[in-house]
Amino acid sequence: MYKLIIKGGAKLSGAVSVGGAKNASLPILAATLLAEGQYILRNVPKLHDIGTMSKLLSQLDVQAECDKNSRFCGTDGIDICLSSVNGDLLLTNNGGARCEALYEVVKTMRASILALGPLLAKRSKARVSLPGGCAIGERPVDLHISALEAMGADIKVSHGYIDAECSRLKGADITFKTITVTGTENIMMAAVLADGVTVLQNAAQEPEIVDLANFLRRMGAKITGDGTHCIQIEGVDKLRPADYSVMPDRIEAGTFLCAVAGAGGGAVITGAPVAEMKALISSLKSAGVKITDKGGGDLFVESDGVLNATDVTTMPYPGFPTDMQAQFMAVMTKAVGTSLINETIFENRFMHVAELKRMGADITVKDSSAVVRGVKELSGAQVMASDLRASAGLVIAALMASNTSEVQRIYHLDRGYEDFEKKLALLGADIKRVKAS
Ligand code: UD1
């Protein structure tokens, strides 16, 4: 286990580049179950979750290739297997028929549920461990299951597993009662090989859904309406493998914007999906952060570290992303005035609050709202990460603090940020990774 030692107070400057999107890569990797043959996936980030998805796929007869020279090699001990093609990921679906996603893998990554739709669509059978709850909430998968049932699947949930079978799935009209990102992705992947047309109402509009749809279209799928609340999918008999470059990660880009906003300084974030970051950019601008779109994915962000308290409410896209809530809250801890942060997506996504308070933040949580009263100083402390984005929030707070902090349990961070501390160090942060005793 590792921890980060961070000496706060340094202004950030220079340039940092954004990697491929984790939340687009995961469903795209799962979609390789849909057609036999060889895929090249470019701009896939080197993350623990990508290693986990590769491991899951290898148990389902999709192999990622191993090459010692690959930048992916050795991803946190997982035998992942990644390719020689300029660090791109090379995957081969060898037409096998295995269809079981075991608890050992699913328990470490909820997104493993994304295997369910493609397995049923292509292999007519799936046995996928039921993901448990996680630190940020209960996170059920009932909407995935009921939509697949509406498409004709016979599903039983028992002994912690989802057992599903079908002949060929049938197109259906499905209205999600809550907007669900992976639910929409799972059913899109199920519908591309179904018999007839599927219409998804109240679908998620996240940019990662559009990226998955672009990939599926490259494979021969017929999808329209992605990026809106109504997606239509006309099933086809067969798909083909594809070569695809994953979109950049808007959450990683947003995290760097928050780091500069909180710590102060001026830096360029390169390769950011600017059009997909409007809600965050607008909230940071309201707080007094200067952000200039330089074109071509370059964002210049400038802050003197003295910001105005700004309220945010997390919402499905295009609203303020729940995955940016912890990082934005960290920035608000030193703002002038009181900000109200409402979390509407997950019921328990304030685990970072207790840790921020250990650093001197003044925050009160009531139900799904946090009242953040800006303080003059944060003081460095030992803190513990509870989930992926909470970890990033704690790192930002540590950069804003007056002395040294230790952030423990950073394996959460490695699930979603590639070379996070190296990129921050490039911007001038005093941060290092050391073995935790
Ligand atoms: C995805 C993202 C995650 C992000 C979240 C919300 C991936 C791999 N993960 O997670 O980073 O924080 O979207 O933007 O893309 N729900 C149900 N029943 C279901 C499914 C969901 O009640 O069957 C509820 C959830 O408990 C939650 C809400 O719907 O309250 C939204 O969850 P959802 O969009 O499904 O999140 P994920 O897809 O798991």
Q: How confident is the model at residue 69 (pLDDT cuts 50, 70, 90)?
A: low
User: For the sheet containing 100-101, what is the strand order?
Assistant: 100-101, 125-129, 161-165, 154-158
List all residues whose CB is within 6 A of at least one atom of ligand 1.
23, 26, 110-111, 137, 139-144, 178, 180-183, 322-323, 345-346
**Nearest atom, ligand 1, residue 23 CA:** 15
Going from the Cα of 182 to the center of ligand 1, the distance in angstroms, rounded, reads 6
Task: Pick the catalytic residue from 134, 166, 230, 258.
Answer: 134
Query: Which pair of structure tokens corresponds to residue 250?
Result: 């808007």
- Nearest CA owner, ligand 1 atom 7: 23
Going from the Cα of 74 to the center of ligand 1, the distance in angstroms, rounded, reads 29
**Nearest atom, ligand 1, residue 22 CA:** 8
pLDDT at 120: 98
- Nearest CA owner, ligand 1 atom 20: 141
| CA separation for the pair 19, 88 (Å, rounded) | 12
22 DSSP assignment: H
Rg (alpha carbons) of the chain, rounded to whole number: 21
DSSP SS3 for 196: coil
The per-residue pLDDT of the chain, averaged, comes to 93
Tens of pLDDT along 113-141? Answer: 999 999 999 999 999 998 866 676 678 89
Tens of pLDDT along 15-68? Answer: 999 999 999 999 999 999 999 999 999 999 988 899 899 999 999 999 987 555
Average pLDDT in the 408-431 region?
Answer: 94
Q: How confident is the model at residue 282 (pLDDT cuts 50, 70, 90)?
A: very high
User: For the sheet containing 430-435, what is the strand order?
Assistant: 382-384, 404-408, 2-7, 430-435
Picking from 225-234, 344-353, 392-401, which range would have the lowest pLDDT averaged per residue? Answer: 344-353
Peptide bond into 318 cis (omega under 30): yes
Of 23, 110, 142, 178, which is best to mutate to test ligand 1, by the most ligand atoms within 8 angstroms of its C-beta?
A: 178
Q: How confident is the model at residue 348 (pLDDT cuts 50, 70, 90)?
A: confident
pLDDT at 138: 72
| CA separation for the pair 433, 424 (Å, rounded) | 12
pLDDT at 76: 45
Tens of pLDDT along 290-319? Answer: 999 999 999 999 999 889 999 999 999 999
pLDDT at 68: 53
pLDDT of 163 > 50? The answer is yes
- Nearest CA owner, ligand 1 atom 12: 323
**Nearest atom, ligand 1, residue 206 CA:** 14
- pTM score, two decimals? 0.95
Going from the Cα of 181 to the center of ligand 1, the distance in angstroms, rounded, reads 5
pLDDT of 83 > 80? The answer is no
| CA separation for the pair 293, 262 (Å, rounded) | 19
- Nearest CA owner, ligand 1 atom 33: 180
pLDDT at 70: 56
| CA separation for the pair 363, 369 (Å, rounded) | 10
pLDDT at 32: 98
Going from the Cα of 375 to the center of ligand 1, the distance in angstroms, rounded, reads 33
| CA separation for the pair 325, 392 (Å, rounded) | 10
Compare 275 and 73 and report the one with higher pLDDT: 275
| CA separation for the pair 44, 47 (Å, rounded) | 9
Tens of pLDDT along 102-113? Answer: 988 888 898 999
Phi, psi of 341 (to 5 degrees): -115, 115
**Nearest atom, ligand 1, residue 346 CA:** 30
Going from the Cα of 290 to the center of ligand 1, the distance in angstroms, rounded, reads 31
- Exposed / middle / buried, residue 366 (Cβ in 10 Å: 0-12, 13-18, 19+): exposed
For residues 208 and 21, the answer to whether their CB atoms sit within 8 Å is yes
| CA separation for the pair 208, 181 (Å, rounded) | 9
For residues 12 and 259, the answer to whether their CB atoms sit within 8 Å is yes
CA 144, 341, 384, 259 dihedral sign is positive
Average pLDDT in the 202-226 region?
Answer: 98
| CA separation for the pair 269, 299 (Å, rounded) | 5
Going from the Cα of 363 to the center of ligand 1, the distance in angstroms, rounded, reads 26
Compare 83 and 245 and report the one with higher pLDDT: 245
- Nearest CA owner, ligand 1 atom 11: 323
| CA separation for the pair 269, 256 (Å, rounded) | 7
Average pLDDT in the 376-399 region?
Answer: 95
Per the document, the length of the chain is 437
pLDDT at 67: 53
- Quick one: which H or E segment has residue 294? strand 290-295
Of 116, 187, 345, 349, which is best to mutate to test ligand 1, by the most ligand atoms within 8 angstroms of its C-beta?
A: 345
Residue 194: which of 297, 121, 141 has the closest Cα? 121
Average pLDDT in the 193-206 region?
Answer: 98
pLDDT at 303: 97
For residues 209 and 202, the answer to whether their CB atoms sit within 8 Å is no
DSSP SS3 for 135: coil
Q: How confident is the model at residue 284 (pLDDT cuts 50, 70, 90)?
A: very high
pLDDT at 81: 43
pLDDT of 331 > 90? The answer is yes
Average pLDDT in the 389-417 region?
Answer: 94
| CA separation for the pair 206, 187 (Å, rounded) | 15
Q: Is 134 a catalytic residue?
A: yes
Distance separating the N- and C-terminal Cα atoms of the chain: 8
Residue 407: which of 357, 355, 363, 361 has the closest Cα? 355
- Quick one: which H or E segment has residue 430? strand 430-435
Of 22, 175, 181, which is best to mutate to test ligand 1, by the most ligand atoms within 8 angstroms of its C-beta?
A: 181
DSSP SS3 for 182: helix
Cβ of 219: how many Cβ atoms within 10 Å? 20
Q: According to DSSP H, which parts of 339-408 are helical? A: 351-358, 388-400
- Quick one: which H or E segment has residue 285? helix 278-286
59 DSSP assignment: T
Going from the Cα of 315 to the center of ligand 1, the distance in angstroms, rounded, reads 11
**Nearest atom, ligand 1, residue 323 CA:** 12
